[in-house]
């Protein structure tokens, strides 16, 4: 590759797709690259996970869903040219999922209710640790609709179920009651067990 | 959250998250978590919303037993509860008035109650204890089948935004006082009051819903009203009163609501508005009124038709109009005064935003046809007009259609949908 070629590639990368930032390459979603190539520069912001991985997201997407990020952008504490938003309590895997959720809901908000619900159900098809991490992240970032979704899922794990079943679902191995207390409870509310 | 190798993550979640989950459960499931584990013993006890319905205790065939069971459940729950209670709702048809309810309300009045909904069973009306009037933070109050008697020293609920009284025994003075002493009141709903004459002063009121036999309603100070829905019933008593009344009901009711966006009337509402002297050309323009729905309009009563016309022509931004006729089979009438239409509807009248019109229970009487003619001629952006004829007049449907087809249409896009069963 000639000197000129490398320079023009660098410029192309810099302007449209991938920014080299402090040595790291900022990740881009394929759709954004396509849109960028089509000549539509979307305003992006950068989120940094606890593992110091940087994610670039459409500003509009995050501002629509996360109250915390919306406030940061509005009060001007985020400078587009340089800064990134550090999210020290969210790991990369979870952050990527959160971004997926927000992006899907922004781009597909006109879809019919059934399709959106099916996507949400698939989205939450994760193990217990994954659900916990998503809950903490959504709580921290104050993403109302994701929180409601997760609350609804957890609520359904409790509603109408027997105590033994709930203990199994949530891995409550030691109920912490004295044997007398547990026996008393079982006697008083037999239909709950 | 269940893996064989996983750990119990849920029991250590922050209390605010736990509460958000518990509050979404029916009260019975929420309280049940107290026997889940020792960590969970009191997590339910600080939820701030308590909603009790028919399902909160086991049902059984003996009504008395279930009632006692519910009373015991609620009393015990309140006793074990910790912290503020912001919302307390009872919707239980088998719960009758009983002394324990007084104690519950006393307890709530000491725990920052903000929203109180009480819907008890049919039977003796529950007499609301005076401690309710000490609930300084009350922002929403809904009472069904109760007796309300504010003490003389009562200065109002300063935080109340929403008031819904359904079949409540309260003196007219008390209710006027209650409304005007709640400065933040935004939403007011009064249903099934007997022969109420009422003057409403509520400078922040946005939503008004009335249903019942009202003798007289005057909206004295409600400049911010955005939505009004009235279902007015009639008794002989009230009908007589109407005959004698000279004041203009239209202006008393709709004269001071310039920001109105939606108006819905049922049964005798249009008749009520037509009583009294004709206001002539209205002094008020409803520039935000986009939806008008008037049901059971009598197209044989010129005064009612005039009310409808005045409303339509004073609403330059009207988008949607729904009118239903009263389904009386038209009697052999005297020649209807069709000149009236030429006088009242100038050909310059344009309803430049009217898109959707629905006319139901149409019998094909001359005034109905004139209204349709007027609407078609004055609505340049009309998209759909649905006409649903009254089921009793099968023969005149063809006649209606024949006339309809002749009418000029200002909108090239207008579709007329004539719905036949």
Check if A192 contacts B (Cβ < 8 Å). Answer: yes
Q: What is the pLDDT of residue B140?
A: 97
Same domain membership, residue A153 and residue A103: yes
Q: How confident is the model at residue A39 (pLDDT cuts 50, 70, 90)?
A: very low
Which of A128, A134, A160, A181 is the best substitution to test chain B (most B C-beta atoms within 10 A)? A128
Share of chain A above pLDDT 70, in %: 77
Share of chain A above pLDDT 90, in %: 48
Q: How many H helices and E strands in chain A?
A: 10, 5
Q: How close is the nearest chain B Cα to the Cα of A103, in Å? A: 25
Q: What is the pLDDT of residue B77?
A: 95
Closest by Cβ to B25, choosing from A135, A158, A163: A158
Q: Which residues of A92-103 are buried (b: 16+ CB within 10 A; e: fewer)?
A: bbbbbbbbebbb
Residues of chain A found within 8 Å of residue B47, distances taken between Cβ atoms: none
Which of B27, B35, B57 is the best substitution to test chain A (most A C-beta atoms within 10 A)? B35
Same domain membership, residue A64 and residue A151: yes
Same domain membership, residue A72 and residue A14: no
Same domain membership, residue A152 and residue A70: yes
- The alpha carbon dihedral of A88, A94, A97, A102 has a sign of negative
Q: How confident is the model at residue A9 (pLDDT cuts 50, 70, 90)?
A: low
Distance CA A55, CA A169 (A): 34
Check if A159 contacts B (Cβ < 8 Å). Answer: yes
Q: DSSP letter at B88? A: E
Distance CA B104, CA B202 (A): 30
Contact predicate A95/A132, CB 8 Å: no
Same domain membership, residue A69 and residue A140: yes
Same domain membership, residue A72 and residue A128: yes
Which of B36, B42, B44, B69 is the best substitution to test chain A (most A C-beta atoms within 10 A)? B36
Tokens of B312: 């339509």
Q: What is the pLDDT of residue A3?
A: 46
Residue A171 domain-assigned?
no
Same domain membership, residue A10 and residue A62: no
- Name the region of A91 (left: φ>0; alpha: ψ -120 to 50; beta: rest): beta
Q: Which is more confident, A6 or B67? A: B67
Residue B312 burial class via C-beta count within 10 angstroms: exposed 0-12, middle 13-18, buried 19 and up: buried
Residue A70 domain-assigned?
yes
Same domain membership, residue A153 and residue A83: yes
Distance CA B236, CA B214 (A): 12
Residues of chain A found within 8 Å of residue B38, distances taken between Cβ atoms: 175-177
Same domain membership, residue A48 and residue A34: no
Distance CA A120, CA B343 (A): 61
Check if B38 contacts A (Cβ < 8 Å). Answer: yes
Residue A62 domain-assigned?
yes
The count of structural domains within chain A is 2
* Cβ within 8 Å, pair B35-A139: no
Residue A93 domain-assigned?
yes
Residue A185 domain-assigned?
no
Contact predicate B354/B321, CB 8 Å: yes
Distance CA B347, CA B62 (A): 69
Domain that includes residue A30, residue range? 6-38
* Cβ within 8 Å, pair A169-B6: no
Same domain membership, residue A26 and residue A85: no
Distance CA A154, CA A143 (A): 17
Distance CA B221, CA B202 (A): 6
Residue partners of B48: CB distance under 8 A and separation at least 6: B19, B23, B83, B84, B85, B86, B87
Q: What is the pLDDT of residues B306-350, one digit of tens each?
A: 899 999 999 999 999 999 998 565 554 555 677 777 776 666 778
Check if A139 contacts B (Cβ < 8 Å). Answer: yes
CA A34 to chain centre: 23
Residues of chain A found within 8 Å of residue B58, distances taken between Cβ atoms: 191
- Residue A120, φ and ψ in degrees, nearest 5: -60, -45
Alpha helices, H only, A14-86: 30-37, 59-65, 67-74
Q: How confident is the model at residue A36 (pLDDT cuts 50, 70, 90)?
A: very low
Which chain B residue's Cα is nearest to A160? B29
Residue A147 domain-assigned?
yes
Q: How close is the nearest chain B Cα to the Cα of A182, in Å? A: 8
CA distances from B355 to B296, B400, B414 (A): 22, 22, 9
Same domain membership, residue A11 and residue A67: no
Instruction: Report which of A70, A66, A53, A136 is spatially closest to residue A101, judged by C-alpha positions.
Output: A66
Same domain membership, residue A71 and residue A30: no
Q: How confident is the model at residue A18 (pLDDT cuts 50, 70, 90)?
A: low
Residue A136 domain-assigned?
yes
The CATH number that applies at residue A50 is: 3.30.710.10
Residue A109 domain-assigned?
yes
Q: What is the pLDDT of residues A119-164, one digit of tens each?
A: 999 999 998 889 999 999 999 999 999 999 999 999 999 999 999 9
Residue partners of A9: CB distance under 8 A and separation at least 6: A1
């Amino acid at each position: 590759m000639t000197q000129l070629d490398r320079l023009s590639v660098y410029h192309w990368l810099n302007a449209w797709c991938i920014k080299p930032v402090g040595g790291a390459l900022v990740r881009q979603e394929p759709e954004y690259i396509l849109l960028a190539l089509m000549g539509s520069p979307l305003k992006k912001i950068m989120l940094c996970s606890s593992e110091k991985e940087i994610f670039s997201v459409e500003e509009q997407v995050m501002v629509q869903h996360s109250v915390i990020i919306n406030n940061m952008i509005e009060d001007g504490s985020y400078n587009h040219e340089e800064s990134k938003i550090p999210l020290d309590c969210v790991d990369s895997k979870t952050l990527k999922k959160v971004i997926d959720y927000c992006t899907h809901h922004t781009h597909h908000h006109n879809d019919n209710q059934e399709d959106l619900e099916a996507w949400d159900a698939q989205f939450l098809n994760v193990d217990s640790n994954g659900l916990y991490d998503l809950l903490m992240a959504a709580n921290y970032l104050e993403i109302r609709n994701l929180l409601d979704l997760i609350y609804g899922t957890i609520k359904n794990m409790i509603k109408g179920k027997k105590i033994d079943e709930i203990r199994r679902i949530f891995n409550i191995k030691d109920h912490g009651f004295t044997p007398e207390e547990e026996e008393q409870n079982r006697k008083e509310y037999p239909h709950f067990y | 959250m269940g893996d064989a190798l996983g750990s119990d993550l849920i029991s250590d979640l922050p209390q605010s998250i736990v509460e958000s989950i518990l509050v979404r459960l029916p009260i019975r499931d929420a309280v049940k978590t107290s026997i889940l584990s020792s960590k969970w013993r009191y997590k339910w006890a600080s939820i701030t919303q308590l909603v009790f319905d028919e399902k909160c205790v086991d049902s059984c065939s003996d009504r008395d037993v279930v009632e006692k069971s519910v009373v015991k459940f609620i009393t015990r729950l309140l006793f074990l509860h910790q912290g503020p209670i912001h919302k307390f709702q009872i919707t239980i048809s088998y719960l009758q008035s009983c002394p324990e309810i007084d104690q519950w309300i006393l307890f709530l009045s000491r725990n920052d109650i903000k929203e109180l909904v009480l819907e008890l069973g049919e039977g003796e009306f529950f007499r609301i204890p005076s401690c309710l009037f000490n609930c300084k933070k009350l922002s929403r109050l809904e009472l069904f089948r109760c007796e309300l008697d504010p003490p003389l020293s009562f200065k109002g609920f300063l935080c109340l935004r929403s008031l819904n009284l359904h079949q409540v025994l309260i003196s007219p003075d008390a209710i006027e006082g209650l409304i005007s002493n709640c400065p933040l009141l935004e939403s007011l709903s009064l249903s099934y009051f007997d022969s109420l004459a009422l003057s409403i002063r509520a400078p922040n009121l946005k939503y008004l819903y009335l249903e019942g036999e009202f003798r007289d309603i005057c909206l004295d100070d409600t400049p911010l009203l955005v939505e009004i829905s009235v279902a007015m019933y009639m008794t002989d008593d009230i009908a007589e009163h109407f005959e004698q009344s000279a004041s203009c009901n239209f202006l008393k009711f709709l004269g001071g609501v310039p920001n109105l966006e939606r108006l819905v009337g049922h049964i005798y509402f249009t008749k009520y508005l037509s009583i009294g002297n004709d206001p002539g050309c209205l002094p008020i323009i409803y520039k935000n009124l986009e939806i008008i729905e008037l049901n059971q309009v009598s197209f044989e009563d010129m005064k009612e038709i005039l009310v409808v016309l005045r409303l339509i022509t004073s609403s330059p931004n009207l988008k949607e109009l729904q009118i239903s006729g009263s389904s009386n089979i038209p009697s052999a009438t005297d020649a209807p005064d069709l000149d009236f239409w030429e006088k009242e509807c100038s050909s310059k009248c344009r309803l430049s935003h009217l898109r959707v019109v629905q006319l139901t229970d149409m019998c094909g009487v001359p005034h109905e046809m004139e209204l349709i003619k007027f609407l078609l001629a004055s609505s340049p952006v009309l998209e759909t007009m649905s006409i649903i004829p009254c089921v009793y007049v099968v023969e005149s449907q063809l006649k209606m259609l024949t006339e309809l087809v002749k009418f000029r249409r200002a909108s090239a896009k207008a579709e007329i949908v004539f719905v036949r069963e």
